[in-house]
Chains A and B, each alone.
Chain A
Amino acid sequence: MNIELPQTRNDAYWQLWAMRALLVLGASHLLAGIVFFFAYNWDDLSPFAKFGLLQAGLVISVVAAIRLKIESPAGQALLIAASVFTGVLFAVIWQVYQTGADAYELFTVWFALILPWVIASRSSVHWFLWIVICLTAISLYGGQVLLPLGILAHDQLGIAVGIAAIVFLAGYELAVLAGCRWLGDRWLRITLALIGVGILFMPAMMFVFDWQGLSQGIIAFVVVTAGLSFVYSRLIPEFAIIAITTGFAAVVAMAIGARGVHEIIGFDDGTSSLITSLIVLVLWCAMLTAATVRLLNAMHAGMTSGNSDD
């Protein structure tokens, strides 16, 4: 067997990769083994031992982060670990003392307490974790308090959480404009836009497929996608967000088409109406997708000067 390995491989890079992979694999298996061990014995541990273990992990993470310098990658990773330990500690307090507190209170205390570490770490990953905890707290508060009290309907809660994600995106942009260059990772901007539009997509679809739903769902979706498209095409050029908003809008338009065909021709009024409806729907979907390609092509050409940054 005459097998030739590729000679274009960057040997230095792959040597480094192999060493890091070996270290990470070893550490992750060892840690997983430790986690499995405690999971096995968890019920037999006293509350004191449980708290002691988690608090020891928390203290060690914070002390090690300070010793390794908080702004170094290792220090940032340790502070993120400390934030996670804090959440787990609260979950165990909640479990051991059966406080009767709702889950949203746990998440609220969690995001409030870790905020100083998030600010100190100057890490976009840490900020992302914090935002996810905030959004979870908002969602739980809505689900456990506002929905039962009848203050919000189900789709309104989805709209509120989606808009909260967009508010965080606005905060991110303002912080970057104010000079927080360390926060300027594109992935955070794109991810927040994806989360916000993705959450707003659900109430919009609920409205399209169920006229009984609230029209705020479709209104919020249209306003947010139009706003994001304007901002990220004219003020802060970011083609990835244009692609996200256009893609979601195209799918909502397809759903509107399906609903319209169902109302006007009908899918269940006999064979001929079924086939006519499907033909119209195929043409509608094909036209929308072709229009999406043309629009994105034109916008991409307008926003880049020949070099794709992706």
Chain B
Amino acid sequence: MTDERLPWYVRLVVGVGAWITAVVLMFLGGAIVFVALEFETGGALAFIGAAYLWVGLWVIRRPERGIFANQLGLATAAAGAALVSGGFAAEAEEVWVGVPIAVAVAAAIFMVSSNRILQFLVSALAAGFFVATLVIERTPYALDIVALATPVGLYLMLRPPERDIAPAAIVLLLLFPLYSIFIVPDAYWVRDIQMGGWIARGIHMALFLWLVSLHWKQRANQGLNQGAIAFIVAALLVCLLLPPGGSAALLIMTYAYVVGSTPFATLGVVLQAQYLIRYYYSLEMTLLNKSILLMAVGAILLVAWWLAERGRKQGAVHE
């Protein structure tokens, strides 16, 4: 079969079919264990998860496989990983137990499979258990804790180790923006505890400066002109003013610009738009204060754009 030549939307269509099949398969496994054999423990869940994981990995590792087999194996293995981690957590009746198990399963999958989608899914699973633990345990300074993932992800993206772990690096890089934009604003409990945020801002500012310094060191022909300096000052001010979710999306866009990545550029834009929309409903300050803050950020960015544009035109005239 020549499945690999098919457009992405065909793979999506086939993927939907394969994932539906995998869900029915999982119900079948669940029915055998829980209804036929009457095992109703977290351990049984972990056992059936391990079986799914093994079958899924076996399917994915077969050299001759089409899209359907690939997607079916992917869904089965991903569900297996989730069941193993969830099973241990259920057995211990503690969500945090799922974190080390999910990390161990992810590490094992990185060792035995080069399927990047599966690697991404199991990395996201481990991150999901970590975030769920923070939410359920109502951990103070959660924003600052999650922000620690960003420098690790960024470093791994820029300097990949010998073994390809890019999917895990992407998860680490996206963890903070997704957490701060989509989870924190909807969590009613954040009003009762200190969520932090200043360390996250500091991390973003440091990472932004690092990215910019890398860019100007290695692409020296573009020079550090007046416009560039204005841009750096503006970006630092914006990181300082905006809540961490907004500056995290800007950091993703800066990374996209430095390495020239269209997917990350698109993602950064989408995250920033999401951030603006959801910020409207956040309860951390009044609408009036939010409006003043956003207008100030907008004005700073527009001044930076004007100065950078002027610097670019002056540079063009000198050349």
Contacts and interface: CB of A to CB of B under 8 A. Distances in A.
Contacts of B269: 21
**4 A-B pairs closest in CB distance:** A30-B298, A9-B260, A26-B301, A33-B295
13 contacts: A3-B214, A14-B260, A26-B304, A27-B302, A28-B272, A31-B298, A36-B280, A250-B13, A271-B35, A289-B18, A292-B14, A296-B6, A300-B10
A28 B10 CA distance: 35
> What band does the interface of chain A fall in when counting residues whose beta carbon is under 8 Å from B?
35 or more
Given A22-B304, A33-B293, A293-B67, A239 B7 contact: yes
A99 interface: no
Contacts of A36: 280, 287-288, 290-291, 294
A26 B24 contact: no
Interface string B51-75: 0000000000000001110001000
Interface string B63-103: 00011100010000000000000000000000000000000
Interface string B201-217: 00000000000001100
A23 interface: yes
B258 A28 contact: no
A11 B222 contact: yes
Interface residues of B, number: 72
A98 interface: no
A178 B262 CA distance: 36
A308 B7 contact: yes
B260 A6 contact: yes
Contacts of A250: 13, 17
Nearest to B254: A18
A217 B123 CA distance: 42
Given A18-B257, A22-B308, A285-B20, A310 B9 contact: yes
Given A26-B304, A275-B31, A285-B21, A40 B260 contact: no
B312 interface: yes
B25 interface: yes
Contacts of B155: 1
A149 interface: no
Interface string B9-44: 110111011101100110110011001100000000
A48 interface: no
Nearest to A309: B7
B35 A17 contact: no
B291 A19 contact: no
Interface string A247-284: 10011001000000000000000010011001101100
Contacts of B301: 22, 25-26, 29
Contacts of B312: 15, 19
A33 B32 CA distance: 57
B288 A40 contact: yes
A281 B20 CA distance: 10
A270 B308 CA distance: 72
Given A37-B287, A37-B292, A297-B1, 11 more contacts: A3-B214, A5-B218, A22-B231, A27-B302, A32-B276, A34-B291, A275-B36, A278-B27, A278-B28, A282-B21, A300-B5
